[in-house]
């Protein structure tokens, strides 16, 4: 690839303090009875059974968002400061896109929190358009190899047919770039215009690469900050194991776990 790519990834942490660790925060949440803790949930959900289901729901949000947060932090660290695409650039790009797509999938479950946490709602609102684009790239490029996309790449990039002659790793990198830029270009609006950028993307043209990298880095940074905020809200919702006797009972129950295949779904 010609030219130098100016990566725009910024150091994460400019948003809320990372809340994934620390018992102090858990104790503070329970002590202050924040809007998502027990007292308010009884009023919202009514019966103990509904309350238990709500607690499980918010626990699930915590664990899913923590995985997303960790993957985005790793991708951000690996992509920050790179001037040229290496053999690790594409895998970490895909990690970022898959994590952003997962955050897009999770967003509908977060809406119950927006009333009491408008700052979370605003953070997710600012990400809405970018997450929609990232989810599309996740679905057709990073998470699944799409036959229609490969066929369109074959049409868009005749150079694809030269790649069998290039057995080195840079041939595989080029193949991924061709498929990625084709995925970007297929994100079109109803009127035929591009759904995100003002023109077609050629990742071997430095201004286009800079444009894509600026979008990705800003989106990853905002998503990390949103996950930090989400962690601070749901951190105290994970039910502790309790006293040693209760912990023992939990592990007895764990030993009786039966497994079956999980059906593919959005939740």
Per-residue model confidence (pLDDT) at position 85: 65
What pLDDT digit, counting tens, does each position of 218-266 carry? 999 999 999 999 999 998 888 887 777 778 888 888 898 888 998 876 4
Instruction: Answer yes or no: is pLDDT of 37 > 70.
Output: no
Instruction: Answer yes or no: is pLDDT of 32 > 50.
Output: no
DSSP code of 144? Answer: S
What pLDDT digit, counting tens, does each position of 49-72 carry? 444 444 477 888 999 999 999 999
43 touches 115 (CB < 8 A)? no
What pLDDT digit, counting tens, does each position of 102-157 carry? 999 999 999 999 999 999 999 999 999 999 999 999 999 999 888 999 999 999 99
Per-residue model confidence (pLDDT) at position 114: 94
Instruction: Answer yes or no: is pLDDT of 267 > 90.
Output: no
Q: What share of the chain in percent tops pLDDT 70?
A: 76
Per-residue model confidence (pLDDT) at position 251: 86
Per-residue model confidence (pLDDT) at position 84: 62
Instruction: Answer yes or no: is pLDDT of 192 > 70.
Output: yes
Mean pLDDT of the chain: 79
Per-residue model confidence (pLDDT) at position 245: 73
Q: Count other Cβ atoms within 10 Å, centred on residue 161.
A: 9
């Amino acid at each position: 690839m010609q030219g130098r790519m100016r990566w725009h990834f910024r150091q994460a942490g400019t948003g809320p303090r990372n809340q994934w660790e620390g018992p102090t925060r858990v104790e503070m949440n329970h002590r202050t009875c924040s809007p998502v803790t027990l007292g308010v949930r009884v009023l919202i959900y009514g019966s103990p059974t509904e309350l238990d289901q709500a607690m499980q729901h918010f626990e699930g949000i915590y664990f899913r968002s923590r995985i997303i947060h960790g993957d985005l932090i790793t991708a951000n660290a690996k992509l920050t400061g790179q001037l040229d695409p290496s053999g690790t650039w594409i895998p970490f790009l895909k990690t970022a896109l898959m994590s952003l797509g997962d955050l897009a999938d999770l967003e509908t479950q977060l809406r119950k929190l927006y009333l009491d946490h408008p700052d979370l709602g605003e953070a997710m609102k600012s990400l809405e358009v970018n997450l929609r684009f990232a989810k599309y790239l996740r679905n057709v490029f990073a998470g699944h190899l799409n036959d229609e996309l490969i066929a369109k790449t074959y049409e868009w990039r005749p150079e694809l047919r030269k790649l069998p002659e290039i057995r080195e790793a840079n041939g595989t990198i080029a193949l991924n770039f061709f498929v990625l830029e084709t995925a970007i270009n297929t994100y079109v609006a109803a009127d035929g215009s591009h759904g995100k950028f003002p023109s077609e993307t050629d990742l071997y043209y430095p201004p286009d690469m800079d444009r894509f990298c600026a979008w990705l880095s800003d989106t990853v940074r905002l998503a990390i900050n949103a996950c930090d905020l989400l962690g601070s809200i749901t951190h105290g919702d994970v039910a502790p194991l309790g006293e040693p006797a209760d912990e023992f009972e939990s592990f007895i129950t764990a030993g009786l776990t039966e497994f079956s295949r999980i059906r593919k779904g959005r939740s």
